[in-house]
Amino acid sequence: MALFGRRTEAPTPLDGVDAVFADLDGVVYAGRGAIPYAVESLNRTKRERAVGYITNNASRSDASVAGHLAELGLDVVPEDVVTSPQAAMLLLEQQVAPGSLVFVVGGEGIVTELEKRGYGVTRAADDGPDAVVQGFDPSVGWRELAEASFALNANGGADAATPGIPWIATNMDWTIPVARGVAPGNGTLVSAVHTAVGRFPVVAGKPETPIFEEARRRFGAERPLVVGDRLDTDILGANRAGMHSAVVLTGIDRAKQLLAADAKSRPDFILGDLRGLHEPYPVTEPIRGGGVKVGDARVRIDGNRVDIVSDGDGGLDLLRAACAAIWQAGIAIHALDVPTRLYA
């Protein structure tokens, strides 16, 4: 792990990487607009290695996503985009026969992938669908969620001996970042159906591994780096898939979430923005008397108190040092006295 290794040099996060898998919302863009430095950094990355875009957002097709990214100035084609509906198709093929009728909750992204593979598409439970695939779309409302519940309960359900037809969710993101702030995501909508049917779907997108394995296969990557803004989806999923990861502080999760990250959700790199992909990443070193040093920042754990010995740059290096010290200590964050300036 980059945060804990003792090195005499400071390579960039891209050293030894043969592909970068970047999340979209909160990493490349917020709403329709590009996040500062994202486009330039990713185009520069693509000059020397593959760049794939992995998104849990199921509302658009790969071609639609690629078109948006191209408008922002990225060098991208539809094949560079790996969507949660594409990962959902891998799960669907394992559960229903070719040409089956599938009930869709969601938009273009799911319908496009189903039609590519010869599945029938319906929005009516009375059509007797063989499976339900659910993904996010801004237009989804109560009627669609209710109809999905009827389809899932038609031949089974919470009180029946059989579980009902297969139910696949593209992802379980509870929230999504948009131009105006943070909004409910697909996980919130899935939970409404879960309440009605009494069971959970199989999930294709982050943090589950199908979407990462599809990206690895498509790009033939052996040493990919996953870049994301969420610990509970991007970073947890990368760790589950055995991939290195970098969290970028331009989206959902910030310093407070990083300091409290559990062992399964900790990134290899902490970046302020995507320029950090190309910059030397500072070494984390132990300091005399306990604690760690990153750059000129020094942090140690004294009992249940997090002590800032030296602020250093007062920014990223201080956060990196604090994360390393807290993570190494193995003490739950709620049991520690953490200085406010580390996360305010």
The total of other beta-carbon atoms located within 10 Å of residue 1's CB is 13
- Which residue numbers are catalytic? 23, 25
pTM of the shown model: 0.88
Give the angle 123-125-130 at the CA atoms, nearest 5°: 90
Q: What per-residue confidence (pLDDT) applies to 7?
A: 47
For the chain, how big is the Rg over CA atoms in Å? 22
Partners of 19 in the β-ladder: 50, 224
Structure tokens belonging to residue 100: 């089956």
Name the pairing type of β-strands 297-302 and 292-294.
antiparallel
What are the residue ranges of CATH 3.40.50.1000 in the chain? 1-56+206-281, 85-202
CA atoms of 266 and 270, how far apart (whole Å): 10
CA atoms of 148 and 138, how far apart (whole Å): 16
CB 192 within 8 A of CB 128: no
Helix, strand, coil % in the chain, rounded to nearest 5: 35, 20, 40
Q: What per-residue confidence (pLDDT) applies to 155?
A: 64
Domain 1-56+206-281 is of which CATH architecture? Answer: 3-Layer(aba) Sandwich (3.40)
Partners of 29 in the β-ladder: 25, 34
Q: What per-residue confidence (pLDDT) applies to 344?
A: 79
Low-confidence ranges of the chain (pLDDT < 70): 1-9, 155-162
Tell me which CATH code domain 85-202 carries. Answer: 3.40.50.1000
Q: At what angle do helices 142-153 and 186-197 cross, to 10 degrees?
A: 40
